[in-house]
Amino acid sequence: MRKLCKFVPSVFSHQTITLTLKEEIQLSTVTLTINGQEVTVPAGTTVLDAALGAGIFIPTFCHDPNFPGYGGCRICVVEIKGARNMPASCVTAAANGMVVETESPAVVETRKTILELMLANHPVDCLTCEKSGECKLQDFCFRYDVKGPKFVGEKKDQPLDTSNPYITRDTNKCILCGRCVRSCNDVEDRSVINFAYRGFKTKVAPAMDSGLAESACVSCSRCVAVCPVGALTYTSTAGKGRVWEVEKEQVTCGWCESGCLFDLVKKDGKVIGVVAKASGEGRPLCLKGRLGMELRYNDQPLKPMLKKDDEYVEVSWTEALGLDDIMEKLK
C-alpha cells in the first residue's frame, strides 16, 4: 500500500502549495517512460490511455471508456518499476517518473497465463462461434501464441439462453469482464443483470438466475454491443455470415431526437441485420429504435416480437413500433 502511494500524488493534494503559473502548467501534466519512450500526458490519465495515446498496444477485456475504473480481467497488467505487484494499467494513474514495461517477459507470461485460465473454462468452439473474427479472446490468444487451455479441469456447463428472441446468451463463453453488467446498470430503470454466485461459480445473470425472457430485460442490446467475446450475440444475424464476409455501415437512428448509432450488417451488398453500436446523447439505446432501423433498411426484416404476459409473441410492425394509434387516425 505504501509503495503504491508513491504513484498517487493526489494523496497529498489537500496540501496548500503556492505555485507560480508556470509550475501549475507543469504540474497539470505528467511525464512517464513506457517501453523506453518518454510520454507526457495530462495528470490523471491512466497508464493504459497514456500508452494507447503513444501508439503502444495494451490488451483489454473489461476496460470500457464509458464505465472506467473496474480493473477486473487483469489482462492489461504492466510492470511498473518499484511496484510490489503488476498493476492493471486501466486503473493506474500515470505519474511523473514512472517507468512502465508493457511487454516484458514477466508481463507476457502473466497475460498468457490469464488467457490459458480463460480458455480452460471456455468451450473454445471458434469454428462455429458467431464472434469468430472479432473476438478479443481469440485476438489476444493469437497475439500471445496461446494455442489452447493448459489447465485441465472443470468447465462451466450452463444451458444456452435463447429465451429472448433478439439476444442469444451463452454464459459458457463469458469471461466475466462485467462490461454488460456495467452497461446495463448504467441505466437505472434497466439494471437487469448482475453477478451471481461466488468464486468459480460466478456468472452474470438476471435476478433469480432466470433466463432473459423471464427477466425485466427490454432487449435494448446495450449488453451485446459491449461484449468482447461470443457470450452475447444477436439472434437475428446468427448463421447469416462470418465477420469477414460482412461489412458494416453506420446509421443514425431517427426514431427519436437522441440519435443512437446502429450498424447495418451487409453481406454481398444486402442488409442482413441491424445491430446496436452506441447510445445517443441522453438515450440508452432501445428496442424500438433498432426495430425501426431494421424495418427501414433490411429487405427481409426480422419478425418483431414483444413480451406479452411474460412471453414473447410475434406482433405487427405497427404495434412493435408503437404506431397503432397513429395508424388508426390515418384511417
Partner 1 sequence: MSNLKEMRSGIEEQYKAKLNRPRIVVGLGTCGIAAGGNKVMKAIKDEVANRKLDVDVDFTSCIGMCFAEPAVEIALPGTPSVVYGGIYPDKVAQLIEGHVIGKKPVTELAAIQITGDATPFDGIPVMEKSGYYAKQVRSVTSRLGRTNPESIGDYIATGGYAAIDKAISMDRLDIINEIKKSGLRGRGGGGFPTGNKWQFVHDAVGDKKYIVCNADEGDPGAFMDRSVLEGDPHAVLEGMMVAGYSIGADEGVIYCRAEYPLAIKRLNLAIEEAEKMGLMGDNILGSGFNFTVRIKAGAGAFVCGEETALLNSIEGQRGMPRVRPPFPAHKGLWQKPTCLNNVETFANIPFIIRNGGEWYASMGTEKSKGSKVFCLTGKINNTGLCEVPMGITMGEILNDIAGGILGGKKFKAVQSGGPSGGCLPTEQLGLPIDYDSLISAGAMMGSGGLVFMDETTCMVDVAKFFLNFTQLESCGKCTPCREGTKRLLETLIRITEGAGTAEDIPNLERLAKVIKSSALCALGQTAPNPVLTTLRYFRDEYEAHINDKKCPAGVCPELLTFVILKDKCVGCGLCLKACPVSAIAGEKKEVHKIDGAKCIKCGACVPTCKLNAIIKA
**By the criterion CB under 8 A, which residues form the site for partner 1?**
1-2, 4-5, 8, 10-11, 14-15, 69-75, 77, 85-86, 88, 91, 93, 106, 109-110, 113-114, 117-118, 120-121, 151-154, 175-176, 178, 194-195, 197-202
C-beta closer to partner 1: residue 106 or 313: 106
Q: Give the largest Cα separation in the chain, rounded.
A: 75
Tally Cβ neighbours within 10 Å of residue 137: 26
The CB-of-104 to partner 1 minimum distance in angstroms stands at 12
Cα 240 to Cα 130: distance, rounded to the nearest angstrom: 9
Q: Which three cell numbers stand for residue 30?
A: 505528467
The CB-of-224 to partner 1 minimum distance in angstroms stands at 22
C-beta closer to partner 1: residue 142 or 197: 197
The CB-of-59 to partner 1 minimum distance in angstroms stands at 12
The CB-of-93 to partner 1 minimum distance in angstroms stands at 7
C-beta closer to partner 1: residue 73 or 231: 73
Q: Write the burial class of residue 47 (CB in 10 Å: 0-12 exposed, 13-18 middle, 19+ buried).
A: buried
C-beta closer to partner 1: residue 61 or 255: 61
Helix (H, G, I), strand (E, B) or coil at 129: coil
Cα 79 to Cα 218: distance, rounded to the nearest angstrom: 42
Cα 277 to Cα 224: distance, rounded to the nearest angstrom: 9
The CB-of-98 to partner 1 minimum distance in angstroms stands at 14
Q: Which residue has the cell 523506453?
A: 36
Query: Which amino acid type is present at position 12?
Result: F
The CB-of-302 to partner 1 minimum distance in angstroms stands at 35
Report how far apart the first and last C-alpha atoms of the chain are (Å, whole number): 71
> 186 vs 114, 136, 167, 306, CA distance in Å?
28, 23, 19, 23
C-beta closer to partner 1: residue 41 or 86: 86
Cα 141 to Cα 211: distance, rounded to the nearest angstrom: 30
Q: Are 195 and 176 in contact (CB under 8 A)?
A: yes
The CB-of-259 to partner 1 minimum distance in angstroms stands at 32
> 76 vs 4, 37, 115, 129, CA distance in Å?
17, 18, 12, 25
Q: Which three cell numbers stand for residue 146?
A: 496461446
C-beta closer to partner 1: residue 28 or 85: 85
C-beta closer to partner 1: residue 56 or 90: 90
The CB-of-194 to partner 1 minimum distance in angstroms stands at 7
C-beta closer to partner 1: residue 73 or 129: 73
